[in-house]
Structure 1
Amino acid sequence: MPSEEGSVVRWLVCGASAGLAVDIGLYPLDTIKSRMQSKQGFIAAGGFKDIYRGMSSVLVGSAPGAAIFFLTYKYINGQMKRSIEGKDALVDAFSASLAEIAACAVRVPTELCKQRGQVNKNTRLTLICKEIMESKGLKGFYQGYGSTVAREIPFSIIQFPIWEGLKRMVADKKESGRCSPLEGAACGSVAGCIAAGLTTPLDVAKTRIMLTKTGPTLGILSTLKEVMILTPLPSNPLLFQVYTSGGIKGLYSGVVPRVMWISGGGFVFFGAYETAMHFTKFLD
């Protein structure tokens, strides 16, 4: 599947490098965000203590998830742009959506274990995995898969067309016709900031679903209802139940650290990807 923009091995290496760089470098902000969105509240979930808690799962799954994402994204994007002209933003959005679905097969179990570790004192990855297996079996590792995809697809539909569009704008103004890694990183930061702010309610729902240990797991609409309804009902699904305890403010719990994390993360992630692409030309 090689193309003028890279090869399979190159995409995998660069994607893995980007995933590790952002997840390790900005993990503390992600922990703070998860604790702010947890049902027990920020302080009860750990506050500012042990902000690297739960990181072992990230080290296991970050690189494969990002590698799968970029392999899928670049291949589909390249194939579609050969046959569809003048629809770059649409192609970027569609490619990113399919890439998210593929990457979530690895990302969801990793994210689940990570967030359990971030808000609970039981931080050993083996114990977290054992607890999930005993309570819900293998399917328990994919608790929140639907809500994660429902969050990631809108996020990527916003982020990647903006990132690619900004890069094209910058490249058009340069004699070389290409963005530098630093410019690509800056474009990624802006794109991530916008996408993060707009999709925070979906992230709140995803976090609540993943942190549910016992009982039936609510869907994303139910979770939103739990967050949003002033008078909770037994049949409330999850997004509507967060308004129950916090109104509109509840839907945007953790928006500041999320925007900071993804804005900074966009800079690191896309910067690492662009830098890796620059130094791995020999892999083509």
Structure 2
Amino acid sequence: MLESDLTPTAKSTGAGLYLEQKSKQSQEALKDIMFGSIAGTCGKFIEYPFDTVKVRLQSQPGFVNNGQLGLYYTGPLDCFRKSLASGGIRSLYRGVSAPVFGAAVETSSLFFSYRIAQEIICAVAYSSEIGKRKPDLPFTALLVCGAASGAITSVLLTPIELVKCQMQAGISGNSNTAFKSPISVIASIWKHDGPLGFWRGQLGTLIRETGGSAAWFGSYEGVGALLKRWYPVTTNEMLPSPRAPVWHQLIAGACAGVSYNFLFYPADTIKSRMQTVQIDIDTGSHSRTEMRMNFWSVGRKLWAEQGIFGMYRGCGITVARAAPSSAIIFAIFEWLRTTFA
């Protein structure tokens, strides 16, 4: 049927449906951004002190003592103790403004991109079933959606994490080398490396976010499905879909956080070293050669110096803080989604 053959009523009805669909999509996108930002901000305040310790463990310099490689911190507890002794609890929250903003950007971008990726897969691979809810997609498709959301988010996240890591690592040694504010970090990066310098460590962030986000969403969906099978969810006619109990979301979210951080932790370690190499916490000097080292050369150097333990240094405390943080993020996001559906 040609468009000219349509009656005015049919045309207006089609236009109305199109506008209604676009309005609904815009509302869903706004919800993803708002709810993801709220959930990410709450999770970041809980985990930030642990993240500071992780970055300091990852970026600490080594020194040779009687032929043996020594490290400034002996472990997470020693790092906590020395950080509290040197600057109190405020030192553990140094630079928190940048990561809080980053958490809002990261979480909202992840949830938004994850939903968009599902819609694209539904449109391409399931053209006859467009509009299906995400639980109906196969698990492998959900993993692809998670990886895509992480790849997109990594581009936004790298500059924010660069500022965060330099703020966190800069307090570790000589106070003269510590950045006083995110603005001073941004000015230093711009001065030494220009605009492209803000994406130092992008490959590490890309690897971590792509694989980590696939594991994050995949674990949440997979564990959630198992819990629903073992403990069936009671249906409620007042809700558009069965609502999983909060403890389902907390357990699935905790598993997601552990998977995200553990599986691709070496990429995060290399990224942190690349992003903090500008700061020598003993001398405050800058090494232009080290600043120009790429992801693979930094990885090889770290492996040669410290082996697999260097790659996973700080992993324990990272996984420990990721479980409750991720659980809270998913629980808050799901609660906001169902409450304001």
**TM-score, structure 2 length as denominator?**
0.71
Deviations along 1:202-255, one digit per CA (max 9) or x if unpaired, are 1111111111224243333222211112xxxxxxxxxxxxxx1x2221111001
Confirm whether residue 89 of structure 1 aligns to residue 89 of structure 2: no
Q: In structure 2, do the counterparts of structure 1 residues 222 and 104 end up closer, same or farther at CA, with 3 Å as the change threshold?
A: same
Alignment check: 8 A CA contact 2:254 2:324 kept: yes
Confirm whether residue 107 of structure 1 aligns to residue 157 of structure 2: yes
Confirm whether residue 167 of structure 1 aligns to residue 224 of structure 2: yes
- Aligned equivalent of 1:78, options 119, 122, 128: 119
- Aligned equivalent of 1:211, options 264, 269, 276: 276
Q: Indicate the residue corresponding to 1:193 in structure 2.
A: 258
Distance 1:94 1:63 in 2: 23
Q: Which amino acid aligns with 1:202?
A: A
Deviations along 1:119-172, one digit per CA (max 9) or x if unpaired, are 112131111111111010111111111110111111122221121112223334
Distance 2:151 2:273 in 1: 20
Distance 1:59 1:197 in 2: 22
In percent, how many aligned pairs have the same letter? 21
Deviations along 1:35-86, one digit per CA (max 9) or x if unpaired, are 1101325549884331001112123332123212211111211342464497
- Aligned equivalent of 1:262, options 291, 316, 322: 322
Q: In structure 2, do the counterparts of structure 1 residues 29 and 203 end up closer, same or farther at CA, with 3 Å as the change threshold?
A: same
Alignment check: 8 A CA contact 1:73 1:95 kept: yes
Q: Indicate the residue corresponding to 2:186 in structure 1.
A: 129
Confirm whether residue 23 of structure 1 aligns to residue 98 of structure 2: no
Confirm whether residue 48 of structure 1 aligns to residue 83 of structure 2: yes
Distance 1:253 1:226 in 2: 15
Residue 199 of structure 1 and its aligned partner are, at CA, apart by 1.7
Q: Which has the larger radius of gyration?
A: 2
- Aligned equivalent of 2:300, options 225, 231, 241: 225
**Secondary structure at 1:122 match in 2:** coil
Q: Indicate the residue corresponding to 1:234 in structure 2.
A: none
Deviations along 1:178-201, one digit per CA (max 9) or x if unpaired, are 313432122010122133222221
Distance 2:227 2:43 in 1: 24
Q: Indicate the residue corresponding to 1:179 in structure 2.
A: 244
Q: Which amino acid aligns with 2:275?
A: M
Q: Which amino acid aligns with 1:218?
A: M
Residue 3 of structure 1 and its aligned partner are, at CA, apart by 7.4
Unaligned runs of 5+ in 2: 1-21, 62-70, 85-90, 130-135, 171-177, 236-241, 279-286
- Aligned equivalent of 1:33, options 29, 54, 58: 54
Q: In structure 2, do the counterparts of structure 1 residues 133 and 226 end up closer, same or farther at CA, with 3 Å as the change threshold?
A: same
Q: In structure 2, do the counterparts of structure 1 residues 97 and 42 end up closer, same or farther at CA, with 3 Å as the change threshold?
A: farther
**Secondary structure at 2:234 match in 1:** coil
Distance 1:123 1:59 in 2: 17
Q: Indicate the residue corresponding to 2:313 in structure 1.
A: 253
**Secondary structure at 2:92 match in 1:** coil
Q: In structure 2, do the counterparts of structure 1 residues 31 and 162 end up closer, same or farther at CA, with 3 Å as the change threshold?
A: same
> How many residues end up aligned between the 2 structures?
265
Q: Indicate the residue corresponding to 2:16 in structure 1.
A: none
Distance 1:100 1:158 in 2: 10
Distance 2:109 2:166 in 1: 24
Q: Indicate the residue corresponding to 2:282 in structure 1.
A: none
Q: Which amino acid aligns with 2:141?
A: V
Q: In structure 2, do the counterparts of structure 1 residues 87 and 272 end up closer, same or farther at CA, with 3 Å as the change threshold?
A: closer
Residue 87 of structure 1 and its aligned partner are, at CA, apart by 5.7
